Structure formats: structure tokens, C-alpha cells
Amino acid sequence: MNRMDNALSEYLFHQGTNFHAYAYLGCHASCVADGWEYVFRTWAPNAAGVAVVGDFTDAWQGAIPLERISEKGIWQGRYRSPASLAGQKYKFRITAQDGTVRLKGDPYAFSSEGGSGGASLVCHESEFVFSDGEWMEGRHAALGNGNMDLPINIYEIHAPSFARHHDGRYYSYRELAEVLVPYVKYMGYTHVELMPLCEYPYDGSWGYQIGAYYAPTSRLGTPDDLRYFVDRLHTAGIGVLMDWVPAHFPKDAWGLYEFDGMPLYEYQGYDRMESRGWGTRFFDVGREEVQSFLVSNALYWLREFHMDGLRVDAVASMLYRDYDREAGEWFPNSMGGRENLEAIAFFRKLNSAVQEEMPDVLMIAEESTAFPGVTAPVIEGGLGFRLKWNMGFANDFFEYLQKDPLYRRYHHNALTFPMMYAYSEKFILPISHDEVVYGKGSLYRKCFGSHEEKLETMRAALTFIMTFPGKKMLFMGTEFGQENEWYYEVGIDLHLLEREDHRSLRDFTAALNRFYLAHPALWERDFTPDGFSWIEVDRADDNTVSYCRKSSREELLVVVSFSGRTIEDYRLAVPSAGVYDVVFFSGSWGEQYEKTLQAGTDEQGCALRLRLPPRTAVILSRRAEGVALTL
């Protein structure tokens, strides 16, 4: 940890620029001659008094008083113990101005019991030694100069429900590593994205309502167990991303909610304080100390756990003053607009701080509107994220897949419209947890038709996504045709892999992922118009599109049919005459398809003639002279 002079730490914290705030605030242990000394610090400017209570204060009956050491509200106390207190529980006992007393978890605790109790756990500095130096060096070489011309294919998981023991117990971080590493390697993903792992009180929030921002959830093990998990993935060549939630926090009594008896971490005005939809409080990101808390927290996960990036949740809820508000329930900003100017400044500060220290990590925005410049550099007036979820693409495409092929002709723009804005941001095409819950159904369920037709549609749909401009993401279970929608208490239906049809879809997805990795045309120019061109865009009656993906090294021709019938003589315009190899085919996995095709010339120019079975995708490449490409 970066430990600076206490006076400087305090000054920068109140300025909103202490990005190592966790090294100053919270509980910190040091070995002394007669045992251990513990220093407790917290920020509570509205408190009349602060003390520490815990297992070590006469079984919570006694208290360690803290002294106010900062005009702006930092409190500090020291406690000496002949024995280590590691793992013992504690809370801050805060007396409000009106005399009421509340017990609060430490906002900077490195470990917490979570749940309804929320006691913080004394945690000594980690002695874990990472062995991922080669990965970290490679990450810097690949991403450190701002380059994004590389394959990114993310497997999103909810760690507590990816797999469970027969008696319902969670897999620990260490157990999960043993299962997940070989599976992700086989499947050909470049990254795992973890839904939030900061400690949270309520299981049903999936981790998105956080109580302890600096503590990995104890449901799955210790902080060092999580470090082990990340290290194992890195040494296997797999990146690790984590969801991070700077928008809001829950109103559990032990958390940040009215921490010192008054709104502190949250906005004070009722027009901005509360999220009706989530029943939570919005962070006051215009407050300097909250900026220090949040930016330090983002960097904490990147520094101390070697995370390769953060997917920032609910960005839109922060960017607009009228988010989740009716007319008359919000006030315009100083310029008369609806934008939250403090949140815009906060994101620029956050991403600038991360970029300056770690230019090789991925900051990803989950932003559901057309707010401009989300992935533009801060120096150009943007928010400074590296990538953004394309949620509009996902919603439109999934709606298209639910249609009977007879009526898909009327919704053809779901396939074509995304190219109208494809280069406005640096997009990820997400099939995320958001799309498979609350009655929306799994991707398998969304697809129209019989069981076999659903599987065929999924293969074509996955091929379409993997060959379309943008980085990729798939939620756990989708790869093998999870039939039920995801439910956090049950997890995914791994038993389906005992069936040949679902196992075959998984193997197809793995082959498609490996094909993606092997072909730069599918990722080298994701964000520039020279990487994509339509061949045939308006064949709506046949539910079919064709296009070309290009890199500096190759060109691939892609034809995708979502038709319910076979198209016997599909004309595909090609750039030049010659032999074309079919390098990938999505039809019933293992089904034979023509391996080579000869381009002919007609009155319109060079073309191939293809037979397209229902719900299939074909990828072709022109054969170099004397070289045959194989499937």
C-alpha cells in the first residue's frame, strides 16, 4: 500500500484527490515491541462522538474512544493488544448530534461478515505473492498504448451461482478457480467478468447493493482467496474484470446510509438523494471526500487484486438529474440542463486517475442512453471509458430472434441499424445477465420455434454477433443453451451438458470462439469503418444479410440467414474471381457443407452461388494461390 504522511493524506482526502485513501482511513495494524498496535480512522463530520466496539472491547461491552483530528471530520483512535486481532469483529459506534447512537461497519474495512450484521473484520496487510508477472507484462504491452485492436471475448459469471455443491454450499474462490480455469480455456474466452464481489447484505441484489466497498464478499472466502483466484486465471492467460457500483448503495443500518446521523456519502437534497426504483441512496459524487472514497476504491481493486478492468454499473443513473424522476421532481443544473455536471466531472476524474496509473486496464461503461463521448478521451471532452456496452443492439436483436421468420422481414433493421451508430463509441456487444432474468427468458427461450429450431437460431445468432463489429460478451449458461432464465439461488443448469444436443451447442460455441481468436478480420478493426462493409443489406424478405470483415491481413465474407426455409440459390457478390473456402459453417454441428466454391461472373460481376439451409451462417475466405484453407 502507498503510505504517505498523515497530514498530506488528510489534506488530499478533503481535496478529493487522495487516491490511496484506504491506506489512511479504516483499520491498520502494525507490529510493536509488546504486541500489535491498531489505528482506527473514519470520516464522520456530523458526529458528536465516535468509538470502536468489537470482540476485543470486553465482548462489545467496552469501547475505544476516537478523537476528532480534522476540522472536516476525521476521527482517530489507537489500541494496543498483546495478541493479534486479525479476524475479530468490530464496528464504529457513532453518536449523532441528536444523541442517537448507531453501529456502523467500517467503510474502508478490507474484510466484512456482510449479511444483516455487517460487522467489519480486522484484517492485516496481505502477504499474498502474485505469480502473474508474465500476464501483467503482456497486458501492458497489449493495452498500455491505448491499442484496442485485439480480441476481447468476455464470459460473464455470477460467482455464487456458477456452480454449487450438492448441499447448496457455494464454491469458494479457490474451488471456483479449479473449475473455471479449464472450462474458460476450453471455451476460448479471453476474459472472465465477475458480477460485483464487494460485500453486500442481500443475496437478491446479486452484489449490486454494496455494504462494504473494500471487502470481497466473505460468502466465497477471504481476500487472499480472491487474490489466488485472479492469479490462477492470469497464469492461465485469462483476464479478470469486475462489476463496480459507484452509483448507489443500500439503506441497511450498518452501511453507508446516513453514516454519521445525517446524509454524508449520499446527496442531501431529496430531489437527488433517493432511487425509487432500487430503494437505495445515490452517492454525492460532487463531494470531495466521496470522490476520494470512490476513486481510491476503483484503484484498490485494480492495484491490490490485479483486476484487469472494471465494468461500471448504472452510469446513466448518474449522468442525468431526472433519472428515475417524474416532471417536477428534479431541478436543472446550473446551465438549465438535465445533465448531472458533478457526475460528468467525477467520471473524468476517475478515468484520468486510472489512465495515469494503469493505462492498460479496461474501464467499461454500462450506459443505456446516447450520452455523447462515453468512450472518447477526457482530453477530447469525453468521459474517458475504454469500452461501452451496446445495450440497444442487444435489446433489438433479441426482439428480432423472438419473431416468427415469416414476420422477421418487418423487423430487418434490427440486423442493419446498429451499423448506423457502430463507430459512435467503442462498443461491446453484450449478452448479459440483464437479458436473462425477470421473465425475459434465456436466449434459448427467446428464439422462435421448436427445440431444434431454437438451437439452429442460437448458432446463427452467435455467429452473427461474433462476426459483427464490437467486442463480445456472453453470460454463463448461454453457451450451451440454458433453457431456464437465470435465478441467483439456483444458478445455471450444468446438468444439461449431459445431453448431446446441449453439449453440441457448447462445443459449437467453443469452436466459434476459437475461430474468432484466430482471425484478426473479426477484431483488428472493430472501431474503424475500414473493417466492415455490407455486401447485401436489404434482403429483408429472406431474413438474410451478408458483409465483409477486414484486417490488414485478411478478408472474411459472412452470410447469415435467419429464414425458416432453405434458400437454394443465394447470390453472394465477391470482390474477385477465384476459389473461396468455407472456413466456418453454423449448421447442425458436424453437418457437412461444401468446402470450396468457385466464383463465377454474371451480368452484375463476380459472385458465388450458395445453398443456405434455414437459420445458418456461412463464413468464406478467398483462397490464396496454391493454398487451401480448411475448417
Residue 599's domain is classified under what CATH number?
2.60.40.1180
CB 171 within 8 A of CB 163: yes
CB 494 within 8 A of CB 163: yes
pLDDT tens per residue, range 521-540:
999 999 999 999 999 999 99
Q: Find the catalytic residue in 260, 313, 435, 479.
A: 313
Task: Kindly report the CATH number assigned to the domain that includes residue 51.
Answer: 2.60.40.10
DSSP 281-304: EEB-TTSHHHHHHHHHHHHHHHHH
Q: Does a structural domain hold residue 418? A: yes
Same domain? For 388 and 255 the reply is yes
The single-letter DSSP state of residue 543 is T
Same domain? For 165 and 274 the reply is yes
Q: Does a structural domain hold residue 504? A: no
Nearest-angstrom CA–CA distance, 451 and 499? 13
- Look at strands 280-282 and 120-121 and give their pairing: unpaired
Q: Give the percent of the chain with pLDDT over 70.
A: 98
- Cell numbers found for residue 225: 482467496
Nearest-angstrom CA–CA distance, 491 and 494? 9
Pick from 576, 513, 588: nearest CA to 548: 576
Q: Does a structural domain hold residue 165? A: yes
pLDDT for residue 626 is more than 70: no
Instruction: Assign 3-state DSSP to the chain and report helix, strand, coil percentages, each to 5.
Output: 30, 25, 45
pLDDT for residue 631 is more than 50: no
The single-letter DSSP state of residue 261 is S
Same domain? For 423 and 554 the reply is no
Residue 335, burial from CB neighbour count under 10 angstroms (0-12, 13-18, 19+): exposed
Calculate mean pLDDT across residues 197-206. Answer: 95
- Other beta carbons within 10 angstroms of residue 324's beta carbon come to 15
pLDDT confidence of residue 627? 43
pLDDT for residue 221 is more than 60: yes
Q: Does a structural domain hold residue 218? A: yes
Task: Kindly report the CATH number assigned to the domain that includes residue 408.
Answer: 3.20.20.80
pLDDT tens per residue, range 455-494:
999 999 999 999 999 999 999 999 999 999 999 998 899 9
pLDDT confidence of residue 381? 97
Nearest-angstrom CA–CA distance, 593 and 170? 44
The single-letter DSSP state of residue 12 is H
pLDDT confidence of residue 592? 64
Same domain? For 106 and 215 the reply is no
Same domain? For 117 and 160 the reply is no
Domain edge (last residue) among 121, 143, 161: 121
Confidence label for 625 from pLDDT (cuts 50, 70 and 90): low
- Cell numbers found for residue 177: 478457480
For cell 456502523, the residue is: 104
Beta bridge partners of 578: 599
Q: Does a structural domain hold residue 109? A: yes
Range(s) of the domain holding residue 287: 151-173+190-450+466-492+516-522
Q: Does a structural domain hold residue 267? A: yes
Give 306's contacts (C-beta < 8 A, 6+ positions apart): 130, 132, 136, 227, 230, 231, 234, 240
CB 219 within 8 A of CB 114: yes
Same domain? For 112 and 223 the reply is no
Same domain? For 399 and 282 the reply is yes
pLDDT for residue 624 is more than 80: no
Nearest-angstrom CA–CA distance, 251 and 437? 24
Same domain? For 418 and 302 the reply is yes
Calculate mean pLDDT across residues 105-126. Answer: 96
pLDDT for residue 564 is more than 80: yes
pLDDT tens per residue, range 163-195:
999 898 999 999 999 999 999 999 999 999 999
Residues shown for the chain? 631
pLDDT confidence of residue 630? 36
Nearest-angstrom CA–CA distance, 461 and 531? 20
CB 69 within 8 A of CB 23: no
Nearest-angstrom CA–CA distance, 446 and 401? 7
pLDDT for residue 2 is more than 90: no
Pick from 209, 256, 254, 213: nearest CA to 104: 254
Same domain? For 542 and 616 the reply is yes
Question: What interhelical angle do 391-401 and 451-467 show, nearest 10?
Answer: 150
pLDDT confidence of residue 628? 41
pLDDT for residue 547 is more than 50: yes
Residue 249 phi/psi, 5° resolution?
-145, 160
The single-letter DSSP state of residue 624 is P
For cell 423472438, the residue is: 402
Flag the least confident range among 14-18, 311-315, 432-436.
432-436
Chain mean position to CA 515: 24
Pick from 373, 132, 102: nearest CA to 252: 102
pLDDT tens per residue, range 327-350:
999 999 999 999 999 999 999 999
Q: Find the catalytic residue in 258, 266, 308, 366.
A: 366
CB 154 within 8 A of CB 472: yes
* Catalytic status, residue 313: yes
Pick from 487, 503, 437, 500: nearest CA to 164: 487
- Look at strands 120-121 and 89-95 and give their pairing: antiparallel
How many domains are there within the chain?
3
Flag the least confident range among 60-69, 233-242, 323-332, 557-566.
323-332
Element (H, E) at 116: none
Q: Does a structural domain hold residue 358? A: yes
Mean pLDDT for the chain? Answer: 95
Residue 239 phi/psi, 5° resolution?
-80, 160
The residue among 591 and 117 whose pLDDT is bigger is: 117
Same domain? For 303 and 433 the reply is yes
Same domain? For 169 and 257 the reply is yes
Nearest-angstrom CA–CA distance, 109 and 103? 14
CA-based Rg of the chain, rounded to a whole angstrom? Answer: 27
CB 511 within 8 A of CB 527: no
* Buried b or exposed e, range 8-45, using 16+ CB within 10 angstroms: ebbebbbebebbbbbbbbbbbbeeeeeebebbbbbbbb
* Catalytic status, residue 366: yes
Same domain? For 305 and 373 the reply is yes
Q: Does a structural domain hold residue 629? A: no
Note if the pTM is more than 0.85. yes
pLDDT confidence of residue 591? 60
pLDDT for residue 354 is more than 50: yes
pLDDT confidence of residue 175? 97
